[in-house]
Chains A and B, each alone.
Chain A
């Protein structure tokens, strides 16, 4: 038995190829522009990290955006004080968000279930309000933290690097705008996915799954479950910090909105939509939500008219009038509908749909010889 089963390896390779080829296969969907691709990667990492906590241990954190925001602020401060290079910024962000997660996790994990969720929500909302109006010297409040020409950047100054013009983050002198930024983030998503895959398959991951299915029994058999849940919480907080830092690398502005409870809710939606407890599911969920947010929200009446052009005149405007409500500012409506449909009909998320379809095929192919093909039971989303 090798380190990665054949199935895992195939999944990993398939995932890698899918991610790296995104600029090509997303072309027909109008989503193959660098900024959105970067967001796909970043929120993919965020969701993968969230799934380590929620999918494996079953602890539903409603405050993960706090770590995301802390990562962003830490990265921007590193750009301001240390260097425009992305590497120190990301290290700094991961360390800071990890420490922050340790502190919040230590307190919140004293409770489980709904109490845990409420505690994390409360902490996140506190962080948001701190960032929004109390700690404005550090966060610049609603205006958002930005880079300026006059930032000290001690490391850059020490090695005699004076950037001409508007400061932008770089990687060893290479600009990270556009597609370079996308591949930079994609590398991290693949790495994050790989680590998550390893964690899921490891004894540590087993332990986390054990906690999810019956924590009391784990305790009775003599395991102290607290260090495991705390470790999962911190790891997932560091993932969020990494994602936040990447968002600051590709776009060096940190705003308080990304810590708001809606942002925390969004990552929960992503994970449940895609399939909590699965590896690929949360990433797909993140992509889907970001796609809706960026593409559906940009569709306006003119585009709808062009789309329904083939229909006769009156029908055409009727269709536009109805669909108008579901695009543009109404994209939340569409997302809500999709979410309801998925939770009602596919409680395991999109991945359950994929499994059902795959099960259908394999059954019809092998049914005569192998009765009772083991279809993995979907994990219920808690």
Chain B
């Protein structure tokens, strides 16, 4: 049990649109061990991003339980979830979601401002995170001065700077060409292998999924097939 980082049990998710109730998940069970690298694939509307949002505590299930390291997060308040996310989760988005008015180092520093760290501690952590993604020389560059791949590296540095256990990636290479995408996926694989980060990655791209240890296929709110792949 100690190896299980995330457990979903009987998770339901639905919302009401007009008079119609739309169900995303009716009864979803899932377990992700610590140190896993899972790719989640599936057609549009299958619930991939909703699942990622539930795992990241930015959306809540209609019913069922979500546990993280044995702790139920589905019953947390908004404030508790904010704190939980800052402690345990790093997000990586398709369009990087960097703050355009901040340079790379300032973007990476954002999660650290939530921690009781001194300015010099924050500076050291930012430098270390940028080092991991090989962008130390771009610390003072603004997003508009960087390529898509570099921006995604900054986003990865921001996701790992406060040393979270889990990285949630929503189409992290969806906006990048193949070569750059492979570089980014290589970085994620490195983070999983070397630093032991548990990674859940939503992707449409089978080539991207091959970097994961296993792939889950989601369709109409259900896992329809499970493949365990050696990366």
Asked if A pairs with B, the answer is no
A→B interface (CB under 8 Å):
none
B→A interface (CB under 8 Å):
none
